[in-house]
Amino acid sequence: MTGKFPNTVINRLTLYHCILVDYIKNNLDTITSSAIAALLKIDDSQVRKDISLLKNTGKSRVGYLVSDLKNSIEKTLGFERPKNAFIVGAGNLGMALANYNNFTDYGLNVVALFDNDKNKIGKKIKDKEICDIAELPSLAEKLHIEMAILTVPMAAAQDMADFLTKSNIKYIWNFSPSVLDVPDGVEVWNENLMGNFLQFSYKIGK
């Protein structure tokens, strides 16, 4: 489960990756370490040191080849093979995330959504169908899905996490503000978007 790079390096590599995705969208072919450093307001030497840890970075006379460096970081971060995931909970947040096309840029492929609301089941968000939650275990097995993006209300989150782990889901990206109990071998990553906003809101004051 633990990689060979420390979290601080991984954090920076993810930021470099974001820059590279942006460069590709803007049809820029090369990038220098100092350009990356300037965007992130860190030291050029730090950027070069991080990149020196990678393989096949496309180093050339005029900087790094954007696509090579991006591929290299993707290999390091382990998403050259896209991860397929279900969104569990087709409420506002689940819908918003299903609408967010950019996930595929980061090796995340949302395959379908799940809900227990009969009025939602069968509808489509972009090209993704909202399926009956009862079908999740069989679909997860059939499609070899190991990751769920959990966007159900907080009160339902633990029960749903139990249901997911029984369905052999191994990775839960948890957008509900719950602290989930999961068995060994299951990884949870918490994302409390509105909690973050409330902290900002408090900082702002009235």
Residue 111 and residue 147 in contact, taking contact as beta carbons nearer than 8 Å: no
Region of 91-99, 115-123, 129-137, 160-168 interacting with a copy of itself (CB under 8 A):
91-99
CA dist list (Å): 34 to 24, 88, 92: 18, 42, 40
Select from 60-68, 72-80, 112-120, 128-136 the region that touches a copy of itself (CB under 8 A): 72-80
Residue (of 153, 147, 144) closest to 116 by Cα position: 153
- The 8-class DSSP code of residue 82 comes to P
**Strand order, beta sheet including 63-65:** 30-31, 63-65, 59-60
Cβ distance 110 to 97 under 8 Å? yes
Token pair belonging to 23:
């460069």
Residues between 102 and 161 that touch a copy of itself (CB under 8 A): 102-103, 105-108, 147, 153-155
Q: Is 15 in the site for a copy of itself (CB under 8 A)?
A: yes
Query: Should residue 39 be labelled a site residue for a copy of itself when binding is judged by CB under 8 A?
Result: yes
Question: Which amino acid does the sequence have at 182?
Answer: V
Smallest separation (angstroms) from a copy of itself to the CB of 141: 19
- Minimum CB–partner distance for residue 135 and a copy of itself (Å): 24
Residues at the interface with a copy of itself (CB under 8 A): 1-3, 5, 7, 10-11, 13-15, 17-19, 22-23, 25-26, 39-41, 76-79, 81, 83, 92-93, 95-97, 99-103, 105-108, 147, 153-155, 171, 173, 177-179, 181, 187, 189, 191-206
